[in-house]
Amino acid sequence: MSGAVLSLRDFRVSFKTPNGVVQAVRGVDLDVNAGEMVGVVGESGSGKSVTFLGMLGLLPSNAKVEGSATVNGVEMVHASHRTMRSVRGKQIAMIFQDPLSALNPVYRVGKQIVEMIRVHEDVPKKEAWDRAVDLLNTVGIPQPAARAQQYPHEFSGGMRQRAMIAMALANNPDVLIADEPTTALDVTVQAQILEVFQRIQSELQKAVIMITHDLGVIARVADRVQVMYAGRAVERAGIDDLFAVPTHPYTRGLLDSLPRPGQERLQPILGSPPNMLKPPPGCAFAARCKYAEPKCSEGLPELAQVGSSMSACVRVHEIDLREEVPA
Ligand SMILES: Nc1ncnc2c1ncn2[C@@H]1O[C@H](COP(=O)(O)OP(=O)(O)OP(=O)(O)O)[C@@H](O)[C@H]1O
Ligand SMILES: [Mg+2]
């Protein structure tokens, strides 16, 4: 038994569409422990959101979820609606990019947190209100008692995102999943929100999963990173290893496309991801990879230990992915 609060094993999500079956997530493993922040990073369409929406039973009915996903040992795949509902919100909560769409404009912010608390727990209104004010304080909202009386439109973008985090914490879940929580915010506010997540992780000992396409965000806050490509994990590494010794060409590409001081142009990864209606039989990145050889297309590569990282590159021992130092 692992001590992980969240575990994925051979987790899969596919969608039935008029054009065929979209294989969005194709066998992903992941363990996340209490007090740890894990980044999940990858290009648009790599399956980051669908993985976690799928495990929480939040996908439309054309989605098929397979494999295993547990929260505190409770299996979520094929779980009853009752199990899903009790785990969702209470043991695990998800925070999205756009807080306005998740906050109800006609209710005071405090009341929305109160409602969230009372869905799972039979607490008197006054006590729930006091807890809502405490939560607003926890996420760094000044004058929380007065703020609780206000409506979402009276909050700035950053304050709304803080309010969403407070709502997610309402039932004291063990796991927080944040899906691009800072993408819509300007850089200064983004940094403040990331600090809130860090405090939640270290002071409240929550497991935090930070989903983003931005490795820069991950670098600042995550302990470990899982890199996704075309519905698979291609690398898993500690944050320092990921930057110093990446073990997959796709990760190298992501690092090279980060904006850097003194560098005029970014180096984007050329080409585009595969069609997930018919993903290639081998490494999905091979078509865009400058190191690709015929053997890369021969079978689906699995993650394997390389140093202290896990890599799904079959050529990892034959290539040098450290940064090229200009002569
Ligand atoms: N309802 C759906 N029906 C069919 N395909 C879907 C559906 N929802 C998502 N997909 C497909 O699943 C794949 C993974 O999507 P997902 O939203 O998880 O990507 P992502 O990594 O979160 O990208 P982004 O960075 O843009 O948020 C994509 O190919 C997407 O087109
Ligand atoms: Mg997404």
DSSP 280-327: -SS-TTGGG-TT--GGGGSS-PPPEEETTEEE--TTTTTS--SPPPP-
Strand segments (E) across the chain:
6-17, 20-32, 37-41, 63-71, 74-75, 92-95, 175-179, 207-212, 224-229, 232-238, 304-306, 309-311
Ligand 1 pocket residues where CB is under 6 Å? 15, 17, 22, 24, 42, 44-50, 60, 62, 213, 276
User: How would you class 22 by CB atoms within 10 Å of its CB: exposed for 0-12, middle for 13-18, buried for 19 or more?
Assistant: buried
d(CA 327, CA 308): 29
| DSSP three-state, residue 9 | strand
Q: How far is CA 125 from CA 113, 116, 323, in A?
A: 11, 12, 57
Q: Which atom of ligand 1 is closest in space to residue 42's alpha carbon? A: 21
Q: Which atom of ligand 1 is closest in space to residue 276's alpha carbon? A: 29
Kindly identify the ligand whose nearest atom is closest to the C-alpha of 273.
1
- Three-state DSSP string of 261-276: CCCCCCCCCCCCCCCC
Kindly identify the ligand whose nearest atom is closest to the C-alpha of 62.
1
What are the pLDDT tens digits along the chain (327 aa)? 457 999 999 999 999 999 999 999 999 999 999 999 999 999 999 999 999 999 999 999 999 999 999 999 999 999 999 999 889 988 999 998 877 778 899 999 999 999 999 988 899 999 999 999 999 999 999 999 999 999 999 999 999 999 999 999 999 999 999 999 988 888 899 999 999 999 999 999 999 999 998 898 888 899 999 999 999 999 999 999 999 999 999 999 999 988 877 777 778 899 999 999 999 999 999 999 999 999 999 999 999 999 999 999 999 999 999 876 555
Nearest protein Cα to ligand 1, atom 8: 50
As a dihedral over the C-alpha atoms of residue 3, residue 95, residue 242, residue 265, rounded to 10 degrees, the angle is: 180
Nearest protein Cα to ligand 1, atom 10: 24
Decide if 296 contacts 283 (C-beta within 8 A).
yes
Note the pTM of the prediction, 2 decimals.
0.94
Residues less than 5 Å from ion ligand 2, measured at CB: 49
Residue 251 has φ and ψ, to the nearest 5°, of: -60, -45
d(CA 182, CA 190): 5
State both tokens at 292.
Answer: 């690709």
From the CA of 50, how far away is ligand 2's center (Å)?
7
| DSSP three-state, residue 206 | coil
From the CA of 272, how far away is ligand 2's center (Å)?
17
Sheet holding 20-32, edge to edge: 20-32, 6-17, 63-71, 74-75
Decide if 196 contacts 162 (C-beta within 8 A).
yes
| DSSP three-state, residue 99 | helix
Residue 33's Cβ-side half-sphere holds a number of Cα atoms within 13 Å equal to 8
Residue 306 has φ and ψ, to the nearest 5°, of: -135, 110
From the CA of 48, how far away is ligand 2's center (Å)?
6
